[in-house]
Structure formats: C-alpha cells, structure tokens
Structure 1
Amino acid sequence: MNSLGEALRRAGSDIIERIFASLPSLLGAMLLLVAGWLIARVLRALTVRAVLLVETLTSRIGKPSPGEPVRMRRASIVIGEIVFWAAMLIFVTAATHVLELTSFTDWLARLVGYLPTLAAGVLIVVAGYVVSRFLADLVLAASPRMDSAQRALLAKVVQVTILTGAILVGADQIGIRITFLAIFVAAIGGVVAGGVALAVGLGARDYIANLIGAHYLRQAFAVGQTIRTGGHQGRILEITATSVVLETAEGRVTLPGRVYNDQPIVVLGGANRG
C-alpha cells in the first residue's frame, strides 16, 4: 500500500515538474499567438484599404459599372481575410517551434515557405484584373462609330481574355500546369487583339482624315476668303486642327477637315493665300 502511494506521489510530482518546466514555452507560444493576431488584424485592414484605393484609382481612369464598388468591397474583404490567415499561419508555425512540436512545425514551415509563391500568383491575377478593366474602357472610348452593344461586347471580350490570361499565368506561378489551356487562351487573345486593333483603327479613321484635310486647307486657303463647298457658302473664320469654320448667311458652320478631299471647293473672293 505504501509503495502504491509513493508511486502516485512520484507520478504527480513528475507531472507538476513537467508543467512548470514547460510554462516558459507555453507563455512564449501564447505571446506569439497574441502578437500574431494583432499584427494579422492590422495587415488585414491595410490590405482592404489598399484594394479599395486601387479601385478608386482605376475608377478615375475609366467608367465603373453600377455594381462594381460593391463587388470590389467584397473582394477587398476576401483578400483581407486571406492576408489575415496567412499572417496567423506564420505565427502559429513560430509557436509550434517554441513548443518543440517538431513534426507539426516542419509541415507548417513547408506551407509557410509556399506563401510567397502563392502571393505572387495572386498579385498577378489582381494586376491582370486592373489592366483588363483599363483596356476594356479604352476599347469603349476608341470605337465610337460602333454600335453600343457591339462596343460593350468587344470590351467584355477583351476584359475576360486578359483576365483569363492573368489567371493562367498566376496559376503557372503557383505551380499548376495548364499548358494546353494556356495555348488555347493565347490563340483567342491573338484574335481579340486583332479585333481591338481593327476597332481602334475604324474609330480613328475619321479623325486622321480630318487632321490631314485641315492641314491641306491651311496651305490652300486663308482666313477671310469666301468659299463654297458641300452646299455651304461663307467666309472662312478659322481653320482648326480638324475642321474649318465658315460664316454663312445662316450663321457659323463648322465643316470637317476631310471636306478638302471629299468635296470640290470654289473660291468666290476675299484675301489671297500667302
């Protein structure tokens, strides 16, 4: 009986000694977790603000869709949560190292070592989203002669194609092998790029024609001359970079510069050129 009591006392004493011996490690791990929690909250708040700042800057460049601010707010919250738990993972790894949980620490260390690669992939996708929005707005602005529905469709195709390419590049950065899909998207992207170039060319054609025509109007005619062209007759008041302004009996008329190439111009009188 005495030997049993002695064994129980020794076991209890060993347990108490082990608890006291591990108290510094436990306290250190708890302090690391508390510090990590605070730092992770700060990083989450900064991330949300950074994402919303990017949204504000891009909305100043282009015209945002009606639901875009709400979507970006949700996206900022999701990205903020990802940053929060990534930071917590780092501090949990440090805490397990302090507690000398070797197997668990090694597994978490490998996971933490993968975080920079994962972050690079996410940044590529975010940058692709920003660029896709900018180019979509550029397509909308550069093709005024197209139907509004066609412009919107072309802009959406451009945005989706660029964003898909960014997702593929980000996935490759993370380590996901998608070679066949990347080749397919690259082919589609080439077709879309040709369509965008065609749309921009059609939108700029009239502007260039007016620019060239106005240049030759300035060489051939002078302010003060009276001319008749395109059903209008009047005195030249001004020749701008892309147009000519006439003072007619009905009032001021602005004709596009391309009238120099498209219509015959009759000089009726006034100042001589030169």
Structure 2
Amino acid sequence: GWLIARLISAGITRLLKLVKFDTLSEKIKFTDFLSKANVQISPSGLIGKFAYWILMLLVIISASDAMGWAAVSNEVSKLIGYLPNLLIAIIFFVVGTFIASFVRDFIKGATNSLGISTGKLISTVVFYLLFIIVTLTALEQAGVDTSIITSNLLMIMGAILAAAAISYGIASRDLLANIMASFFCRRTFHVGQVIEVKGIKGKIISVNNVSVIIQNENENKIVIPAHRLLTNEVKIII
C-alpha cells in the first residue's frame, strides 16, 4: 500500500509538471504565497504530497479493518470525510487572498494616478478587510465556529471605520471645498482671462480640479485655491 501510494503521488506530481501547473501557479502568485508561508515545495509537489497522505489513510483503514481495529478505522474514515472541506477551505483562502491582493494593487494604482496621497493607506485597509472576510469564511468552511470572532471583529471594524471616516472627513474638508468650488469656477473662469482677487492680478493659465493657476506680470505662477474665487470678490479684467 505504501509503495502504491508513493508511485501514484509521484505520478500526479509529474503529470502536473507536464501540464505546467507550476507555471500557472506563478502567474496567480500562488508560488509567492507558499514562499511567504515558508513552504519549501512546488505547488505540484504539494498536491502530490496531499494525494499521498489521502492514499495512506485509505491504506490505514484497510489495514485496521483487516486487523479488527474498528475504532481506528472509524476515526480515520471521519478524518478522510473531513479532508474535502479542509481542501476547499484552503483553496478558498488562497484564491481569496489573491483577489484581495489584486484589489489592493488596483486601488493603489488608481489612487496614485488620481494623485490621492492616501492611496496606499486606503488600499491597505481594503486589503485587510477583505483578508479578514476571506479568513473567516475559510474557517467556517473548515468547520470552525467563528460566530464569537465575527461578532467581536464587526464591532471593532465598525469603530475603526467610524473613526477613520470622521478623521478623513475633517482632514479632507478643505480639499472637498476646493473640488466643489472648482466645478462652479469652470463655468465662470477660463484659460486666457486676466483676473484680480485680493490684490493678486494675473492671467489664468490653468484651471484644475482644486485650484486656478495664474501668471502675473513678472511671469511668476500663482496657485489660487478654487474656493477663494467663490468666497472673495474677483475682478475680471479681460
């Protein structure tokens, strides 16, 4: 039985290598996940080992039945019945972690392209929220009662999100004011106009999402926050 298990395990590993399963694992970053977990074995070898131990458990059941060890046979049978749930939980955890990493990288790239300085923080928070959800779901699939953990985590996450939302709202108050003001400024001010606001005079050379840039007579560029053009008297010269 042991020899047959070894041969089948080696055959499965070799077959997976022939169909380039390890290459596919690298593309979905499963290999990186194994490296971070200090698993010094290829994905195909890992599946081969898993198959080996499944077969060995079946051998143990057969040997126990032959020797009349019903208790051992029953317990090993229960273990084999549990293994599919464990395997599904592991696969779900790996795939879920990969998706969470993809979402993190996507948010980081999107926020960087928009010039949002807190993009890294936002992407990290989203990643860990997804990671916690994936972990709890995987544990439930594996048969672990996570009701207490889930209820406590929900309260903690709710408190953290509320505090973060309030802090972010206060910190970004001026930014939001400029963005809203810029929306209305675009209807009144445009590139080429010469304006004067609070003693500052110059020609508009740019109108962006948060400010208006003018160039004075000395060819110095001055950035005026958009909300100042709505809250102060602006003289349009040309």
Q: Same fold (TM over 0.5)?
A: yes
The Cα RMSD (Å) is 4.4
Change in Cα spacing, 1:131 to 1:245, as seen in structure 2 (3 Å) is same
Return 220-229 or 176-185, whichever deviates more. 220-229
Matches within 5 A, 1:171-186: 171-186=139-154
- For residues 188-220 of structure 1, the C-alpha deviation after alignment (integer angstroms, 9 at most, x for no partner) is 122233344445545654444333222222222
Q: Which residue matches 2:69?
A: none
Corresponding letter in the other structure for 1:212: M
Kindly provide the amino acid, as one letter, of the partner of residue 88 in structure 1. Answer: Y
Residue 178 of structure 2 is aligned to residue 210 of structure 1? yes
Residue of 30, 37, 55 corresponding to 1:75:
37
Superposition pairs of residues 51-200 of structure 1, within 5 angstroms: 52-55=26-29, 73-75=35-37, 77=39, 80=43, 82-92=46-56, 96=59, 101=63, 103=65, 110-130=78-98, 133=101, 144=117, 162-198=130-166
| Unaligned runs of at least 5 residues, structure 1 | 1-25, 57-68
Partners of 2:64 and 2:73 within 8 A in 1: yes
Q: Deviations 1:46-90 (Å, cap 9, x if unpaired)?
A: 67655543449xxxxxxxxxxxx7x76242736846533222133
Looking at structure 1, the residues matched to 212 and 159 of structure 2 have their Cα atoms a distance apart, in angstroms, of 39
- TM-score after normalising by structure 2: 0.66
Identity %: 19
Structure 2 unpaired stretches of 5+: 66-71
The residue type equivalent to 1:73 in the other structure is S
Provide the secondary structure at the position in 2 that maps to 1:258: helix
Instruction: Label 1:82 to 1:206 Cα distance change in 2 as closer, same or farther (>3 A).
Output: farther
SS, match of residue 255 in structure 1: strand
Deviation at 1:234, TM superposition (A): 0.3
| Structure with the larger RCO, 1 or 2 (CA within 8 Å, 6+ apart) | 1
Alignment partner for residue 261 of structure 1, among 230, 233, 238? 230
User: Which structure has the bigger radius of gyration?
Assistant: 1
- Report the CA distance shift for 1:189/1:133 in structure 2 as closer, same or farther (over 3 A): farther
Q: Measure, in 2, the Cα distance between the counterparts of 1:197 and 1:51.
A: 38
SS in 1 for 2:39: helix
